[in-house]
Amino acid sequence: MEYLFGIVILLGALIFFHELGHFVVAKFCGVKVEVFSLGFGTKLIKKKIGETQYCLSLIPLGGYVKLYGEDPTEPVKTDAKHSFSKQPVSRRIAIAAAGPIFNLGFAVLIFFVMEVSGIEKVVAPYLAHVTPGSQAWELGLRPGDRIVKVNGISHIRRYDEFAAEVAQAHRKGKQVSLTAQRREEVFVTPLFTPQTETDWNMYCEKEERGVLKGVSVLTANTTVGMTDAKSWSAQKGFQNGDRVVSLNGVPIQTWSELHEYLLHIAQDSLHFKVQREAQGVAAQEMTIDMQLPPEYFLLDAAQKERFLGLHSYEFFIKQDFKEGTAGNRAGLKIWDRLTAINDKPIGHWDEFRETIQTYGKDPGSFYLTYDRGGALNKVQVFPTKTVAPHPCGGEQEMYQIGMMLDPERSYVPLKLERYQELNPFKAFFSATEKSVGMAWMIFKSVGKMLQGKVPLKAMGGPILIGKIAGDHLKQGIAPFLALLAMISINLGVLNLLPIPVLDGGHLLFFVCELIRGRPLSNKILDLANRAGMAVILGLIILVFYNDISRYWSGILSFLKKISGIA
């Protein structure tokens, strides 16, 4: 029901503002408005105020404003000065363009309100993970650092701004220097050249972009695992899947914090608070006390790790591999801990997955090191190739070993911060820039679709919109408002397409009239409108087909539910 509720709110607001644009400008130009309707079909509620009848109609998939004299094929017998068809072309262009412009203005308003009110939460420019030995590590960056500036100029307030600035510098052929903050210390990294990644962009084009390798907004939490039952931690009562809440009264959130603490601690008495889950039972908090022997403090880092036997839970195999998977064929078992690929330590899940894709294309070149019972073993792995449809058309090859990620058990939630711009002029500029950028992105996407570079199956209709709207509504008001703004821009842009019966089609006719010095003939207008209606009906059928194909099982479940069928 939240999907139905979401689509009603979303479409209702968008249609209202679109038709309000036509209504306001028509009134301003002195044109009589006969009907203002939200929805099509049978009028459920109607009330006449002045010269205009306001309606709420049965089918909530659009709306309309009926202007006096808008049909050029029908003669205007009286009150010609208030007739749409008798207005100068410039006024008719203004009235036709007002709906899409109001949609764009509505998006600017939404983004402006979001920025000045601070209701949006964004991913902070915080390095949750830095892989040892990576480019970022060599620059001196460490987990917990916050990026403040890029090349000493841009003030960074969100992670995507940081990534965008690095990519932009790479496009310009510039080196990059980062200003970062670590607790109270602010420092500047040496200059570096961003590394290149190639991936598909939203226009289904292969795109190279500059990135800083070795950083991520996700990091392993304090859930721990053990491979050696004789290790100090196992003997003191730790179990696989325990999550450390605090150590000696100090709250700990990430594995990197816990790891550093254990390697550099000066006390010999450790007091852990841990959460332990049991199947079908809520997590319980308990304490584990550990006394370190004097010889522990004489060990190096690697020896301390082996002695304690505590490891991040991230790369433990948590369930048996299915028959026929690469992991099963290689003999990997539950509670093995993956440590390296081709002798290179595994740093992060994204890097792990990327490495599998790289070596999977070269059979026989993939060697996986794993820890079983406290002993390291190496095995040759032949990742399984799967072929699946690519979102941009064609097929894509993927290589897998059969291991699944468990993000809720393994990772710290993203670090989100309230984003607020108190300067109204900056907020308005940012909202306008964002809206215009999205409009251009949609125009470009339509162009790519017409060229066949973006598949038609990417299009969606009311069911997809309802699904997305419902999902965003459940996430909170800010994600829903952002979606509302995006679809408002989408509606405005699509209405500007030069298809007869859309606003863009009317604008095309008026421009032709300006050039010719007289309107197009009624015969041409009639043929064009018929063709335009056929195109619109074809698009409606296409998006409904795409929606039903995507959500057929969900639609059946919904129909059974409302009809009382078990």
- Residue positions annotated with a catalytic role: 19
Tokens encoding 84: 């749409």
Q: Report the half-sphere exposure of 175 (CA within 13 A, side-chain side).
A: 6
Burial (CB count <10 Å: 0-12, 13-18, 19+), residue 103: buried
Give Cα 271 distance to the centre of its chain: 40
Tokens encoding 384: 């399984």
Residues 501 and 57: their CA atoms lie apart, in Å, by 20
Three state DSSP letters for 478-512:
HHHHHHHHHHHHHHHHHHCCCCCCCHHHHHHHHHH
- CA 292, 293, 298, 304 dihedral sign is negative
* Beta-carbon count within 10 A of 191 CB: 12
Task: Please say whether the beta carbons of 52 and 34 come within 8 A.
Answer: yes
Beta strand 281-291 with 269-278 is antiparallel
Burial (CB count <10 Å: 0-12, 13-18, 19+), residue 225: buried
By three-state DSSP, how is residue 441 classified?
A: helix
Residues 278 and 153: their CA atoms lie apart, in Å, by 51
Q: Which residues have a Cβ under 8 Å from the Cβ of 174 and sit 6 or more positions away?
A: 151
